[in-house]
Structure 1
Amino acid sequence: MKKSSLEKIIQDYLDGKIEESKLYELVQDYPLELVKKCFYDSMEVDYLLTKKYLKVDKEVAFKDFLHQIKKQTIPVKKLQNRRTYPFFKYAAIFLGVIGLGLGITTFLNSEDTHDTLTIGNEEVNLNLGDGNVKIVKGTESSDILDSEGRVIAKQTGNRISYKSTDKSGKIEYNEISVPNGKKFQLELSDGTIVHINSGSILKFPISFSVGNHRRVTLKGEAFFKVKKNEEHPFVVMTENFNVRVLGTEFNVSAYEEDSEASTVLVSGSVQLYDSLSPIKMQSKIKLIPGEKGTWNKDLKVLKRDMVDTTIYTSWIQGKLIFRDVPFKDIRKKLERRYNVTIVNTNLALDENTFSANFEEESIEEILEILDRTYEIEYEIKHNQIIIN
């Protein structure tokens, strides 16, 4: 097979023109060493031909490239002779390529000199609103009862389905807390499906009152597949903004510790508005499928952009996809996903951006990838991951 064809395949993937599954299929028949060479060559070309250099002479671009390498060298004695970061954002993608049986097993199973990391196993908590808290274990099935002893929902493993009932009068709420390291699924009484991500809390009515909006409150991240009801709009309330819909699929990320909160629309239509404004509906934006609405907590403004929605919804299938994401944000997601604490003492690293795909890897395997491929050193101390 021609090398030029392989180069085009790899560059198409880096440009986002083909998906990972297609990339894996197309490179199967090429020799490993040729795949490696073409991949590293493409990484360099991609760096030099970013938008920053589109109208710049290639010689000037290359000189600037060398200057950036020198400038980004980490001032730590034991790392002085190591490679720095300009190409590292593609390293995890390359690991995906060689992970097709081309050597990743040997790479990960080599001698490990790090201490053992003990990961806590917290359970999902369901606050029933009457002062009682039910511990929800994913290995069990049970009925959920209200304050009067009536069955209002059924738990089966990592899912709770609430019964469909029309109710007037006082609204009763339940609140579910999903700890780091866990995910959970709810079916609300109106048929709306909610996937709740790690480190999140959702407060919701056990039954939606006739004649009112369907309102839930979210801290953290969840994906909603809302049952359509034009007479009763569905509203997701967060600390900074609210999302108003009729029937649609969308993701909301509103963690308290994050600098931004966002909504990504997969299908249908949603309206975002500032929940802090005295006139709430005055500051609002409407999203169409494929758009992301972002609330900047410092600037207190809403903006929207076109995005690849799969990047923001892949966590439902147990995947983590990063595209040009600062390491400090990747750390937060890893902490939530694996219920670990990561302390980074390398401030320069925190601002570097990376692209990576993770699926079934354990946190230990990801740490080895960081250490051996990105050359980012770490140690486990007092059950914390310390990055040096």
Structure 2
Amino acid sequence: MNDLEHNENDYKALASKWLDGTITQEEEVRFASWYNREENQKLTIPEEFAVNESVHRNRMLAEINKRIGVNKKMQLWPKLVAAALIGALFISGLYLLIRPFAKDEAAMIVLKRQDIPAGKNKAILTLANGKVLALSDLAVGAQSRHDGAIITKNRDGQLQYQVVDAENNTNEIAYNTISTPRGGQYQVNLPDGTKIWLNSASSLKFPTSFKKLGERKVELHGEGYFEVAKDKTRQFRVVSNQQTVTVYGTHFNINAYSDEDEKVTTLLEGSVDVNHVLLQPNEQSVIKGGQVKVQPADVETVMAWKNGYFRFEEERLDVIMKKVSRWYDVDVEFDNPALKELEFGVVTSRSGNLSGILKMLEMTHEVYFTIRDKKITVMNYTKSDHAR
């Protein structure tokens, strides 16, 4: 590998780090220096690009995909073409064909923020007797048993909570509750083999044993993905905000946050009954104002949180920031209420720092963010913002 190839690969790596928010201050300075040097290159804009945005978009995205492949870690949808090209062209090594950046705009690369790390696996378990356990405090490989619950952390650092049938002869049914804070997520394994993943700011209340119950019933607040073990003799019910979901064995996601106007249940496989309305795979029920509507589901978007990334397709900014707020444990305020209605399309990892997704949104030149004391302020973008 010659020096030119080595330098090119080095700057591609720095570009990737910058986009996902893991770049260090020293690396940002190097990257900014390289970027400022390249911005003076001559730009060629073919005539058909200027008169036909569709041709421009398709040709550019085809070239990007050919050079770097489909990358779910960092994308912006075609509606925001300039932002998509900024992000993808940095990584691919292509020159920007939309418009040149001025040097004061390039200063956005060297940001000094009160950055915030991504959420992680953490939860609180409240036992039937009132005792509270912080599940994240367990050492790797450690096991702890409380009232029929075995709590472990495996070699990969993944926290697992498994309920086993209680060994007592009392007729009293005891309930435990596992809760994730903002900035947390967690996996729950129930004694019947059902697996549940909880998103941030969510909780699940469940019995310590299903043996003495005619049905398997749990209560959900927030969002959870369920892989319900099959049992034809006992149905499985999830009671959440404004709805009851009944199944015998299936995979589905429920989004029922109390601060959301719509309560959405999405079916991946099997069948479910939502308030007596039957769903088929790749369908979702949307409850608003007490009414149930069934519509096709974008399963990839629904399951993005569980698979480790954000995915927004033509989503309102207030909806995006609500999810960002939960995952990074920050508050959000809009300097101009009209900004809430802006729509964006973004795909990015949930493992990067908060600044990563904010930088991507800023590249659209529609919005600008500040972070102070765990509060994000959303403002109208102005060119002077990047002088900072």
The TM-score, its normalising length taken from structure 2, stands at 0.70
Residue of structure 1 in register with 2:330 after alignment: 340
Q: Percent identity?
A: 26
SS in 1 for 2:258: coil
Residue 356 of structure 2 is matched in structure 1 by 365
Counterparts in 2 of 1:301 and 1:222: CA distance versus 1, 3 Å: same
Find 1:153's aligned residue among 150, 156, 163: 150
Inter-partner Cα distance in structure 2 for 1:9 and 1:229: 54
The verdict on how the C-alpha distance between 1:9 and 1:125 changes in structure 2, with shifts beyond 3 A counting, is farther
The letter of the residue matching 1:143 is Q
Which one of the candidate residues 176, 179, 192 is aligned to 1:177? 179
**1:351–1:132: structure 2 CA closer, same or farther, 3 Å change rule?**
same
Once the two structures are superposed, residues 136-190 of structure 1 have per-residue CA deviations (whole angstroms, 9 ceiling, x without a partner) of 116625434345xxx5323224221222569883221110110111111011010
Amino acid at match of 1:245: V
2:64–2:92 Cα contact (<8 Å) kept: no
Mapping 1:238-387, distance limit 5 Å:
238-273=240-275, 284-296=276-288, 299-359=289-349, 360-387=351-378
Residues 333, 207 of structure 1: alpha-carbon distance in 2 compared, 3 angstrom cutoff: same
Structure 2 partner of 1:125 = 124
Q: CA deviation at 1:119?
A: 6.2
Assess if the C-alpha contact under 8 Å between 2:285 and 2:293 holds in 1. Answer: yes
Q: Distance in 2 between matches of 1:167 and 1:9?
A: 70
Deviations 1:280-308 (CA, angstroms, capped at 9, x unpaired)? xxxx3110000011111xx2111110022
CA RMSD across the alignment? 3.6
SS in 2 for 1:314: coil
Tell me, in whole angstroms, the C-alpha distance in 1 between the residues paired with 2:59 and 2:268: 24
Partner of 1:116: 114
Segments of structure 2 that go 5 or more residues without pairing to the other structure are: 1-47, 70-74, 96-104, 380-388
- Deviations along 1:212-249, one digit per CA (max 9) or x if unpaired, are 11001000000000000011000010121010001000
Determine the structure 1 residue equivalent to 2:98: none
Q: Deviations over 1:27-57 (max 9, x none)?
A: 549xxxxxxxxx99x95xxxxxxxxxxxxxx
Q: 2:133 matched to 1:134? A: yes
The question of whether the paired residues in 2 share the 8 Å contact of 1:213 and 1:235 is answered with yes
Report how many aligned residue pairs link the two structures: 308
8 Å CA contact retained: 2:197, 2:224: yes
> Does the residue aligned with 1:328 lie in a helix, a strand or coil?
helix
Bigger relative CO (Cα 8 Å, ≥ 6 apart):
2
**Partner residue of 1:227?**
229
Aligned to 1:68: none
Indicate how the Cα distance of structure 1 residues 13 and 320 shifts in structure 2: closer, same or farther if over 3 A, else same: farther
TM-score by length of structure 1 reads 0.70
Matches of 1:137 and 1:190, distance apart in 2: 24
Tell me: CA distance 1:8–1:206, structure 2 relative to 1, closer, same or farther (3 Å). Answer: farther
3-state SS of paired residue (1:286): strand
Cα deviations by residue, 1:335-376 (Å, 9 ceiling, x for unpaired): 111111121122111012211101143211222222233341
The alpha-carbon distance between structure 1 residues 171 and 318, as it changes in their structure 2 partners (threshold 3 A), is same
Give the AA of the match of 1:312. V
- Conserved 8 A contact 1:214-1:233: yes
Decide whether the 8 Å contact of 1:93 with 1:357 is kept in 2. Answer: no
Q: Aligned letter for 2:251?
A: E
Aligned pairs for 1:27-38 within 5 A: 27-28=67-68
CA shift at 1:129, angstroms?
1.4
- Alignment partner, residue 26 of structure 1: 66
Instruction: Check the 8 A contact 1:119/1:340 in 2, yes or no.
Output: no
- 1:66 alignment partner in structure 2: none
Q: What is the letter of the counterpart of residue 26 of structure 1?
A: K
Mean Cα displacement is larger for which, 182-191 or 338-347? 338-347
Amino acid of the residue matched to residue 314 of structure 2? D
Letter in 1 for 2:130: G
Cα distance change, pair 167–268 in 1 and its aligned pair in 2 (3 A)? farther
Secondary structure of 1:221 counterpart: strand
Residues in 1 aligned to 2:261 and 2:313: alpha-carbon distance in whole angstroms:
18
1:342, 1:387 within 8 Å by CA — same for their partners in 2? yes
* Change beyond 3 A, Cα 1:121–1:291: closer
Distance 1:242 1:13, change over 3 A: farther
